[in-house]
Amino acid sequence: MSPAPKHCPEQQLCNILSAAACCIEETSLLDFTMSAIAKKAGMSMGSIYKHVHTKEDVLIALSQHGFIRLRETFTAIFKTPLTVAEQLIALSLLDYSKVDPYPFTRHLEMLVSNSALLKRSSPQWQQQMSTACDGIDILMLTHFRQAISDGELTTTGDEDACLQQLQLGIWAINVGHIQVLLQTHSENQASNLPKAIFPLATDNPHVLNCMRLINSFDWRQPLTEEGIKRAAQTLIELGFR
């Protein structure tokens, strides 16, 4: 009998996270077990613990993957010929069922911000998740600064303060909207939230609120209803809507 194939550490971790995602979908974000992950991954518990030490580590590792995917999505949007204002409204028009790596990613994003969960996780995984999340912030600030350099966005007073307001506003209104949806839908609907709710229509109240926020800043070309439609069509072409 030939020996079982050996995988590099990166592939082992990939297998573990894939198995973990399956186990969570079969149970929940709270009820999955490490032993079930090991069984589904076809690995020993010792091999599992070389990568993740607790269930909290598993959740944070999965969340890190979600943040990396989100950064890749934002990067693709920022490379389109849309104006920066149109690119920003595109973030509110995403179909998360086509963007998120897991059906439960939106719930997971909220869960891993819990301080009690973080205390039970490994510092190395906390750092990796933080780095992935920071990567999104850096990407957005860099993109905004380029918009200023290109004359697409004009700021008055403290440039850094203005950019931080824009970044925080966009992030808060989108994340806050998702949290409200999670809290106001039934458990069954919430578990399928991306497919049940997204993509939002171009005239959805949330999208129009985002338009008002974006246009409160001084753009060379303010966002219009036609611009929202262009953003939606671009997302379709990218496979994000």
Q: Could you read off the pLDDT of 71-113 as tens digits, one per residue?
A: 999 999 999 999 999 999 999 999 999 999 999 998 898 899 8
Work out the pLDDT band at 192, boundaries 50, 70, 90: low
For residues 157 and 217, the answer to whether their CB atoms sit within 8 Å is: no
Domain 1-51 has CATH 3.30.230.70: no
How confident is the model at residue 185, as a pLDDT?
64
Mean pLDDT of 25-51: 94
Q: Range(s) for CATH 1.10.10.60 in the chain? A: 1-51
Name the E strands within the chain.
153-154, 218-219
Q: Range(s) for CATH 1.10.357 in the chain? A: 56-238
The answer to whether residue 158 scores a pLDDT higher than 60 is: yes
Of the candidate CATH numbers 3.10.450, 1.10.357, 3.40.109, 3.40.50, the domain formed by 56-238 belongs to 1.10.357
Q: In this predicted model, which residue has the larger pLDDT, 236 or 187?
A: 236
CA-to-CA separations, 136 to 27, 43, 56, 70, 77, in angstroms, rounded? 30, 33, 22, 8, 13
Q: In this predicted model, which residue has the larger pLDDT, 89 or 191?
A: 89
CA-to-CA separations, 45 to 9, 23, 63, 220, in angstroms, rounded? 15, 15, 22, 58
Tell me what the pLDDT averaged over the chain comes to.
Answer: 91
Amino acid in the structure at residue 68: I
Task: Give the whole-angstrom CA distance, residue 217 versus residue 179.
Answer: 25
Q: In this predicted model, which residue has the larger pLDDT, 67 or 187?
A: 67
Q: pTM for the whole thing? A: 0.89
CA-to-CA separations, 33 to 36, 43, 103, in angstroms, rounded? 5, 14, 19
How confident is the model at residue 8, as a pLDDT?
82
Mean pLDDT of 5-32: 89
Work out the pLDDT band at 6, boundaries 50, 70, 90: low
The separation between CA 177 and the C-alpha centre of its own chain, rounded to angstroms, equals 14
